Amino acid sequence: MRLKPMLAVSNIFLTSPALRCVPAIILNSIVGRSFIASAFTLALLVGSQAIAQQPPANPPSGGTPDAMPFDIPYGTAITAEKAKQILAAAEAEAKKRNWKMNIAVVDTNGDLIHFLRMDGAQIASVTISQGKARTAARYRRPTQVFYNAYESGHPYVSTLDPTLIASPGGFPLVEGGKLVGAIGCSGGTGDQDALICKVGADIIK
């Protein structure tokens, strides 16, 4: 589409009085190079615009496995008595290690059944422990999964739920292959919290 203007410029260039003394072969070489350079620049411009208009490829989003991940069927929520036993096991392990913990046990909906704040445990961790338990119950997976997502550069998980806790220390409680609740611990490092909670989660099968 820009060939005619470029040819016109070339004709003006060739008929300029100042260039009548220049041999024709030199003039033709100069104009030819100028024309080729202009055409090459135009091609690059058109090509770059075409590339810019192409939509970006979608980043991976969990893939498409044959089976749904963490597809644990729901069961009947654990009783208060069972929740106390789970919490007691976690507390015993924390005492053995002299770790001051907040420990929460929730039902399948993430609502609190039983809670303990050990003497001297961090006050801020009261709600964190309950949030971990709630996250593990409602998403049917350990909270470590969300921590890993954040740490691997996928902060989108924060948009899923404003109450989601992406920190280790929350475990679903699975009995007979069905979800019956969850346990959450907070007060130490994420790994300390996870170790204590895993002891409580492991007493039911």
DSSP letters, 32-87, are: HHHHHHHHHHHHHHHHHHHHHHSPPPPPP-S---SS-TT-PPB-PPPPHHHHHHHH
Q: Is 24 exposed, middle or buried (0-12, 13-18, 19+ CB in 10 A)?
A: exposed
**Architecture of the domain delimited by 80-201:** 2-Layer Sandwich (3.30)
Give the residues across from 104 on adjacent strands. Answer: 115, 184
State pTM to two decimals: 0.72
d(Cα 41, Cα 37) in Å, to the nearest integer? 6
d(Cα 86, Cα 204) in Å, to the nearest integer? 8
- Which stretch, 12-26, 33-47, 122-136, has highest mean pLDDT? 122-136
The better pLDDT of the pair 41, 184 is held by 184
Residue 180 has what pLDDT? 98
Q: Which amino acid is at 71?
A: D
Beta strands in the chain (DSSP E): 102-106, 112-117, 170-175, 178-186
Parse the chain into domains and list their residue ranges: 3-53, 80-201
How far is it between the farthest Cα atoms of the chain?
108
Residue 58 has what pLDDT? 73
- The pair of three-digit structure tokens given for residue 200, joined into one six-digit string: 């409580």
Mean pLDDT over 66-94 rounds to 95
Residue 177 has what pLDDT? 95
Residue 142 DSSP SS3: coil
Mean pLDDT check: name the lowest of 57-61, 113-117, 153-157. Answer: 57-61
Report how many helices (DSSP H) and strands (DSSP E) the chain contains, helices first. 6, 4
Confidence of residue 175 (pLDDT cuts 50, 70, 90): very high
